Amino acid sequence: MYYFLSIALAFSLIFITAGCSEKEQPRQQEPAPILRDAPTSSIAGLTWDIPENWQVESQRPMRVATYSVPAAGGDEEMGEVAIFYFGPGEGGSIEANVERWFGQFDQPDGRPTREVAERESQQINNIPVTIVRTTGTYTAAAGPMAPRQDIRPGYKLIGAIAEGPEGAVFFKFTGPVTTVQEAEPDFLRMVESLQRQ
């Protein structure tokens, strides 16, 4: 009697175990959830993270990448982050590029933009980075031949120039003042994510 009970118990355990395995098997085959990290881009021996709410745009001439930044409430235009790299030793000095960026803005009182702009130098993960900020009327909205009606008042620039192992990389963020101000923390986090490859 005890022998038959033992056999019955053993078969019961086999069926229960098989049933559990059948129920658990689909869960084991399902892929684990993937946590979306910020996409990463790289050039000139540097990498950086792209904020998740920015849209990566299609390739454009002379640019490494272009990102569209959502417009802030009340602004009709989105912001734009353009990234440039011209090669080792190419693209001009940091000073020349800072002056060129400042020259793309007019001030209401007619003063040179360099007199009202902000500029600072930092070391980010052992990478020298120059950061500039200015506001005013943006005169380079559509290139050097832009018609006067395309010139945009009430714009802001935040620029960063990172001195990478293979040359300088230029990060230029322009857009309506409110949009740029609201997205400035995202831009700075991107710059602070810079790493050497």
Helix (H) or strand (E) holding 192: helix 177-192
Q: How many CA atoms lie within 13 A of 47 on its CB side?
A: 7
Number of domains in the chain: 1
**CATH number, domain at 123?**
3.40.1000.10
Within a domain: 28: no
**Cα 110 to Cα 90: distance, rounded to the nearest angstrom:** 32
Within a domain: 168: yes
Within a domain: 52: yes
- Nearest alpha-carbon partner for 129 in 164, 89, 180, 80: 164
Note the pLDDT tens digit of each residue in 33-80.
322 345 569 999 999 999 999 999 998 888 999 999 999 988 999 999
Within a domain: 30: no
Q: Which domain holds residue 102?
A: 40-196
Predicted pLDDT of residue 14: 41
Note the pLDDT tens digit of each residue in 139-189.
985 555 555 557 899 999 999 999 999 999 999 999 999 999 999 999 999
Identity of the residue numbered 186: D
DSSP reduced 3-state for 91: coil
Q: ∠155-58-147 over CA atoms, to 5°?
A: 40
Within a domain: 54: yes
Cα–Cα distances in Å, from 83 out to 4, 65, 100, 170?
A: 79, 5, 15, 5
pTM: 0.77
